[in-house]
Structure 1
Amino acid sequence: MRFELTLNRTTKQRMLPMDYQYYISAWIYKVLKQADADFANFLHNKGYGKGDSDTKLYKLFCFSRLNFGKPKMWKEKKLFEISTHEIKLQISFDVNEVACNFIKGLFMAQEFYLGDKFNGIDFTVANVAALSEPEFTETMRYRLQTPWVVSYQKENDKYPSYLSPKDELFEGLSMKHLIEKYNNTHHDLFIEPDQIKVKRLNDFKRSGFVIKPDTPQQSRIVGNLFDFELYAPVDVHKMIWNAGVSEKSSSGFGWVEVSTDYMTSSK
């Protein structure tokens, strides 16, 4: 389920690091931990999954970019200067309805600081609104709002490579990830490889951001922005709507919206 949070600035601070996604992810974990340490630790350390030693475990939530209008950009300082006092943020969780109602209450009236030790903004959550789902069918068209990350690490490589759609491994690995993500977290339906297909609808743009800034683990993760058509069981569409389509969705990658072109043509 998706929620839209209305954030109000509470001080005169206006500068926000451009790579703010890591700080949002850390804040989400902090909110969960304040209310239920076991639930937060489960999400952060394991996510959902079968727990097999050879199976990746997934953290089934995602979040959008901040909607703050058109800020002034200080590219050399990697900062946004934000003038608006009301900012929107959407977050989503692929959990059952009971858990969603619990989560909605956690975020209401939260007060928090978003940013690093030099630049950031104090916010309060003024409102939390549950958003309705689109009408899902087996074939849907989506527009990526945050990059779709597909990584590949060779046996002797120290760091993974972040693939683009031009790489021959991109499509196969992206579909493998979705199938594993679904099969390891949903047990009412088992997805076979021939049940899911993706088609890119336009050119792609490379995009990414830094995670864990100012730490020894700092790294820049790079993905791809494009529109795509996905053929898959309806439950898979619901999963990517609520948990992102990408690797590293809990860091804000792989947030999708239904393509407006598709919605217009399907009426």
Structure 2
Amino acid sequence: MRFKLTLTPIRDRQRLVFNYQYPLQAWIYGRLANADAEYAGFLHERGYQVPESRKAFKHFTFSALQIPSIEPIQKGDTYMVLRSGVLTLYISFYVDKAAENFIVGLFQQQQLSIYNRECRADFVVERVETAPLPAMQSSMTFRTLSPMVVAQKVDDLDQYLTPTDADFGRFFAVNLVDKLRSVQPSMEMDAAIAERLVKFELLSDPERIKKRGFLAKEGKEKEQTKVIGYHNFTFALTAPPELIEVGYLGGFGKYCSMGCGCVEVVSASPP
């Protein structure tokens, strides 16, 4: 299920850090913990694990903040100055029916604070709307709402791929299949099958794609990781509907629980 949150700034001209994904993720975990500490702990510490693998997924994601207006950014700034106006945030969960009940109503009238040593921005969640789930087809077109991270492991380190890379579609497909396997452990599928089932096609002009780098676990120097994702592009996806659904609701690619891989539907073709 997916929610649209309307955020009202508490003050005008607040400073919002560019790297807000980590504090926003922590806020979402906090809201989940208030409703069900055990489930929140499970997501944070373990997640849904892929059989016979060290991979695990949280199966939730969120969009970039949709901000109507900011003041001009100066060279060297690490934050943006918000002008008056409400912000929009989409939060999306791929959960079973048993988990939906406690998620509903978690965010209404809550306060969200995003800050570091230099600046702070405070918001009130004025409205929460449940977004209807689009009908999942075997061929659909999506637009990114946040950076998408797809990576290839080289010497146990992530090498981040652009959507124009020849290997992007292959690793995108394997990641998506692994996500479904984490909630359907009996499903047997290898990388070759994943590539045959899942077809990624970039539709946007490569020149319009934007690169976004951010720190995972900012402030924890021994743990923080520089992550690189790409956004501002549209793509066509052909795959079984159950695979498309797990990506649409839980995010496509890596680092989805940090606000990566969130998309919106542009169009759907009949199966």
Q: What is the TM-score normalised by the length of structure 1?
A: 0.88
What's the counterpart of residue 149 of structure 2?
Answer: 149
What's the counterpart of residue 242 of structure 1?
Answer: 249
1:190 is displaced (CA, Å) by: 5.8
Distance 1:49 1:60, change over 3 A: same
How far apart are the structure 1 equivalents of 2:199 and 2:51?
27
How far apart are the structure 2 equivalents of 1:253 and 1:31?
19
How far apart are the structure 1 equivalents of 2:84 and 2:130?
23
1:187 is displaced (CA, Å) by: 5.4
Distance 1:153 1:182, change over 3 A: same
1:229 is displaced (CA, Å) by: 1.0
What's the counterpart of residue 210 of structure 1?
Answer: 214
1:162 is displaced (CA, Å) by: 0.9
1:219-252 deviation line (CA, Å, top 9, x unaligned) = 3311223221111111112111111111110011
Distance 1:188 1:70, change over 3 A: farther
How far apart are the structure 1 equivalents of 2:51 and 2:58?
13
| Among candidates 196, 199, 202, match of residue 198 of structure 2 | 196
What's the counterpart of residue 67 of structure 1?
Answer: 66
Equivalent residues in 2 for 1:72-221 (5 A)? 72-75=71-74, 76-155=76-155, 159-186=157-184, 192-193=193-194, 194-204=196-206, 205-211=209-215, 212-216=217-221, 217-221=223-227
What's the counterpart of residue 20 of structure 2?
Answer: 20
Paired letter, 1:59: K
1:84-122 deviation line (CA, Å, top 9, x unaligned) = 242211101000234223112221221231121321211
What's the counterpart of residue 47 of structure 2?
Answer: 47
- Which secondary structure does the structure 2 equivalent of 1:135 belong to? coil
Does the 8 Å contact 1:73/1:79 carry over to 2?
A: no
How far apart are the structure 2 equivalents of 1:51 and 1:39?
20
Does the 8 Å contact 2:70/2:81 carry over to 1?
A: yes
Paired letter, 2:171: L
How far apart are the structure 2 equivalents of 1:206 and 1:77?
19
How far apart are the structure 2 equivalents of 1:213 and 1:50?
27
| Among candidates 215, 224, 233, match of residue 230 of structure 2 | 224
Does the 8 Å contact 2:69/2:84 carry over to 1?
A: no
Paired letter, 2:10: T
**Structure 2 unaligned runs (5+)?**
none
Q: What is the TM-score normalised by the length of structure 2?
A: 0.87
Q: CA RMSD in A?
A: 2.2
Does the 8 Å contact 1:31/1:107 carry over to 2?
A: yes
**Structure 1 unaligned runs (5+)?**
none
- Which secondary structure does the structure 2 equivalent of 1:105 belong to? coil
Size of the aligned set, in residue pairs, is 260
- Which secondary structure does the structure 1 equivalent of 2:48 belong to? coil
- Which secondary structure does the structure 2 equivalent of 1:213 belong to? coil
How far apart are the structure 2 equivalents of 1:144 and 1:73?
24
How far apart are the structure 2 equivalents of 1:180 and 1:11?
43
1:188 is displaced (CA, Å) by: 8.1
How far apart are the structure 2 equivalents of 1:187 and 1:218?
31
